[in-house]
């Protein structure tokens, strides 16, 4: 995803690019339509011309963000050629690279999931459901074969996601308290691509 706005993009596209950046960074309530207009260099009225409302525009951006989050998940989880550990390794690599490129995406995702508690239909069953079941079954099989300790799959899901996503959302804390600058932070996240699969293996087996 490019950082700079495409000057030759259509008006509609320019609005979406600015909206995506702002909504992802600051969320719905804190982003003002006037801001989006200014950022994208378009007239305020055009926002309502192309997208019916602020909420309509937000929903589009949210779906795109969540889709980009889920992208690859279905195929990866559903791939019967890969074992559990191979999947975790691919998962860590894929998402950490994604989050290094889009550092505001993790917080947006977390917020969206959290808000789904009160709200919405965001977490309805989707294309990842079937493939997630395949992954869960692989875990159950490892348990049955006594290769790992008995554990509820939700713990594993939580731990994988937490180890991958959480450092990004507490980045400011790590940077301030551990005296890590931006460059070192990225290096540390890259380290985690290798560390997380090893950690999870240890957790499961011991």
Partner DNA sequence: GTCTATAGACGGATAGAC
Partner DNA sequence: GTCTATCCGTCTATAGAC
For DNA, the binding residues (CB under 7 A) are 11-12, 31-34, 42-46, 48-49, 52-55
Measured distance CA(131)–CA(134) in Å, rounded: 5
Q: Given the rule CB under 8 A, which of 8-16, 22-30, 39-47, 88-96 is the region that contacts a second copy?
A: 22-30
Residues 6+ apart with CB under 8 A from 16: 57, 60, 61
Nearest to 111, CA basis, from 23, 192, 32, 51: 23
Q: Minimum distance between the CB of residue 172 and a second copy, rounded to whole angstroms?
A: 4
Q: Min. distance of Cβ 20 from a second copy in angstroms?
A: 18
Dmax over CA atoms of the chain, in Å, equals 63
Least separation in angstroms between CB 30 and DNA:
9
CB of 48 to DNA, least distance (A): 3
What residues from 138 to 197 belong to the interface with a second copy (CB under 8 A)?
152-155, 157-159, 161-163, 165-167, 169-174, 176-178, 180, 188, 191-192, 195
Q: Kindly report the backbone phi and psi dihedral angles of residue 23, in degrees, each rounded to the nearest multiple of 5, phi listed first.
A: -60, -45
27 contacts a second copy (rule: CB under 8 A): yes
| Closer Cβ to DNA, 11 or 131, answer by number | 11
Write down the least CB distance from residue 182 to a second copy, Å: 11
Are the beta carbons of 49 and 67 closer than 8 angstroms?
Answer: no
- Rounded to whole angstroms, the Cα distance separating 51 from 70 reads 24
Residues 14, 11: Cα–Cα separation, whole Å: 5
Contact 197, 92 (CB under 8 A): yes
Site residues, a second copy (CB under 8 A): 27, 29-30, 107, 110-111, 113-114, 116-117, 123, 129, 132, 152-155, 157-159, 161-163, 165-167, 169-174, 176-178, 180, 188, 191-192, 195, 198-199, 201-203, 205-206
């Amino acid at each position: 995803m490019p950082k700079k706005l495409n000057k030759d993009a259509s008006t509609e596209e320019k609005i979406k690019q600015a909206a995506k950046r702002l909504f992802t960074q600051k969320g719905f309530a804190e982003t003002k339509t006037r801001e989006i207009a200014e950022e994208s260099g378009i007239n305020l009225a055009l926002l309502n011309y192309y997208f019916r409302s602020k909420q309509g525009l937000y929903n589009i951006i949210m779906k795109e963000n969540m889709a980009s989050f889920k992208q690859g998940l279905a195929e990866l989880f559903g791939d019967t050629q890969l074992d559990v550990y191979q999947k975790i390794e691919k998962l860590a690599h894929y998402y950490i690279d994604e989050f290094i490129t889009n550092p505001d995406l993790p917080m947006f995702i977390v917020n969206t999931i959290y808000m789904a508690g009160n709200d919405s239909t965001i977490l309805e069953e989707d294309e990842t459901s079937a493939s997630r079941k395949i992954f869960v079954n692989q875990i159950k099989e490892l348990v049955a074969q006594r290769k790992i300790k008995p554990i509820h799959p939700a713990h594993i899901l939580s731990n994988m996601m937490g180890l991958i996503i959480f450092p990004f959302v507490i980045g400011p804390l790590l940077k301030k308290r551990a005296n890590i600058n931006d460059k070192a932070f990225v290096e540390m996240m890259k380290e985690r691509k290798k560390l997380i699969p090893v950690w999870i293996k240890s957790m499961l087996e011991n």
